[in-house]
């Protein structure tokens, strides 16, 4: 009982955070485990460390203001898209953790640019120096529900390509068994007729 209580408490706090997010206008766009659970199951299927948002850079002031409304007053830059330009911001409010992913727009396309990361992977500098092209429908998936809470999730293709594309570069280490299973279920549910090669995202070196 003592080992399960903290996880249950965190899950309840995260669900309450999702309820508070549902009152924001416009709704933040989720990626990561909660987005995958929302699209695949409509309920929380496993413990999650944090909640993850993604948005275009032009929305950064709005999304930081929304995060402050939710209690996240300070963010650390854990990844840069270019020197001095964050693409990955990390914040805490007690036991709650919120990651913000900032995408860049160019010539009608949306990219996640990974110039530099502020942490190591297995004692070595995390791989960086590339950009991942996000699908054109990344921010266009209609709202869905998770445990009765309306949320906005990135499109299934965006979720799949973010998981597999970044994992292919090793920037955040290897995917956990749960993350690999979520990627498999996204492919099986939404893209059953496509091969892994068909679904690979375009990844280019940063110049």
The model's pLDDT over 11-64, given as tens digits with 9 standing for 90+, comes to 999 999 999 999 999 999 999 999 999 999 999 999 999 999 999 999 999 999
Please report how the helices 177-190 and 156-169 are oriented relative to each other, as an axis angle in degrees rounded to 10. Answer: 140
CATH code: domain 4-205 is: 3.30.460.40
- Look at residues 105, 128, 130, 129 and name the one whose alpha carbon lies nearest to residue 203: 130
pLDDT > 70 in the chain, percent: 97
pLDDT at 193 over 50: yes
pLDDT, mean over the chain: 95
Grouping H, G, I as helix, E, B as strand and the rest as coil, residue 29 is strand
Sign of the Cα torsion 187, 81, 58, 70 reads: positive
Per-residue model confidence (pLDDT) at position 7: 64
Label residue 207 by pLDDT band (50, 70, 90): confident
Instruction: Tell me the DSSP string of 97-144.
Output: EEEEEEEEEETTEEEEEE-EESSEETTEEPP--EEEEEPTTTTTPPPE
Per-residue model confidence (pLDDT) at position 5: 45
pLDDT (mean) for 162-182: 96
pLDDT (mean) for 199-204: 97
pLDDT (mean) for 122-134: 96
User: If you compute the radius of gyration of the chain from its CA atoms, what whole number of angstroms results?
Assistant: 16
H-only helix segments in the chain: 4-21, 32-40, 60-69, 156-169, 177-190
The model's pLDDT over 144-153, given as tens digits with 9 standing for 90+, comes to 999 999 999 9
The model's pLDDT over 75-111, given as tens digits with 9 standing for 90+, comes to 999 999 999 999 999 999 999 999 999 999 999 999 9
pLDDT at 187 over 70: yes
- 169 Ramachandran zone, left/alpha/beta (phi>0; psi -120 to 50): alpha
pLDDT at 4 over 80: no
pLDDT at 2 over 90: no
Q: Most distant CA pair in the chain: distance in Å?
A: 54
Model confidence, pTM: 0.94
């Amino acid at each position: 009982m003592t080992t399960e209580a903290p996880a249950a408490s965190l899950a309840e706090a995260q669900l309450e955070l999702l309820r508070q997010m549902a009152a924001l206008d416009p709704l933040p766009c989720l990626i990561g485990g909660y987005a995958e659970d929302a699209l695949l199951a409509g309920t929380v299927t496993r413990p999650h460390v944090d909640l993850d948002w993604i948005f275009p850079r032009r929305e950064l002031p709005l999304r930081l203001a929304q995060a402050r409304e939710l209690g996240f007053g300070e963010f650390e830059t854990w990844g840069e898209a270019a020197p001095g330009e964050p693409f990955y911001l990390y914040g805490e409010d007690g036991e709650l953790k919120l990651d913000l992913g900032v995408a860049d727009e160019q010539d009608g396309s949306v990219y996640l640019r990974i110039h530099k990361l502020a942490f190591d992977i297995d004692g070595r500098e995390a791989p960086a120096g590339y950009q991942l092209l996000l699908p054109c429908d990344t921010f266009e998936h209609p709202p869905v529900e998770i445990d009765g809470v309306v949320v906005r999730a990135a499109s299934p293709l965006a979720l799949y390509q973010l998981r597999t594309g970044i994992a292919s570069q090793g920037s955040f280490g290897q995917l956990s068994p749960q993350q690999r299973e979520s990627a498999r279920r996204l492919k099986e549910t939404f893209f059953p007729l496509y091969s892994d090669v068909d679904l690979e995202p375009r990844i280019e070196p940063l110049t």
